[in-house]
Amino acid sequence: MNALNRIARLGAAVGMSALVLTACGSSSGKSSSGESSNAAPSASQSSSAGSNPTSSPTQETTGSGGAKPGSSSGAVNLPLTATVRSALRDAYLMHAMQEYPKEKQANLTGPSSAHYGKVNGRYYAIGEIGFTDNALSRQDGPHVWRSPNGQDWEYVGDTGGKVCGPVPRALVEKWGVNCG
């Protein structure tokens, strides 16, 4: 196969992957647990809506408030918006579909019991997430995500109950969560 054919096939594969990923992030309504999914743009789409990841008309907050301006830890608890929650779901789903390829987005619940914040210039989130019909996907939480900018989220994994390590201790303490 010549180089042009390989490039054309690669381009087609990338285009199909983008189409599948876009479709995965475009649900709305309520999950089977009754939580509103508040469908929002995926992490990569939300960057065009504005550079502030916490600006959303429907802010859902968790945790115990933000850091004071003179805080020595530099850890800040941020409100978990519908946009961030949706981006976390998308990042988890992209990862989970490799391990559970037969699962459906409609069976995804969470993140719940979630916390979101920033420390040392990096954003972190923790929460419970998994598929309603797959108990294995819901064990060993909370789950962890991180982002360099509060918009492009990477699913790190479940913690097995040990949050400190994947998330800096200063932020875990700011959230009032036990390190495990």
Tens digits of residue pLDDT in 149-180 = 999 999 999 998 899 999 999 999 999 999 88
User: In sequence order, which ranges of the chain are alpha helices (DSSP H)?
Assistant: 3-24, 43-46, 82-99, 169-175
Calpha distance 130→160 (Å, rounded)? 14
The pLDDT value given to residue 139 = 81
Residue 141 lies in a domain: yes
pLDDT for the residue 35: 38
Give the C-alpha separation, 4 to 7, whole Å.
5
Domain presence at residue 22: no
pTM of the shown model: 0.61
Tell me which residue of 38, 24, 45 sits closest to 95, measured CA to CA. Answer: 24
Mean pLDDT over 101-108 rounds to 91
pLDDT number for residue 9: 46
Number of domains in the chain: 1
pLDDT, mean of residues 98-112:
92
In a domain, 18, yes or no: no
Is residue 84 included in any domain, yes or no? Answer: yes
Residue 154 tokens, joined: 């990477």
Cα–Cα distances (Å) from 39 to 11, 58, 83, 173, in that order, read: 29, 12, 8, 30
Instruction: For residue 171, give its domain range.
Output: 28-175
- Identify the band that residue 11 occupies on the pLDDT scale cut at 50, 70 and 90: very low
Q: Is 128 within the bounds of a domain?
A: yes
Q: What is the DSSP letter of 36?
A: B
Do β-strands 143-147 and 108-119 pair in parallel, antiparallel, or remain unpaired?
unpaired
Task: State residue 163 phi and psi, 5-degree precision.
Answer: -75, -40
Instruction: Compute the distance between CA of residue 40 and CA of residue 10 in angstroms, rounded to an integer.
Output: 29
**What is the C-alpha to C-alpha distance for residues 56 and 54, in angstroms, rounded to an integer?**
6
Confidence of residue 95 (pLDDT cuts 50, 70, 90): very high
Q: What is the mean pLDDT of residues 26-55?
A: 36
Question: Is 117 inside any structural domain?
Answer: yes
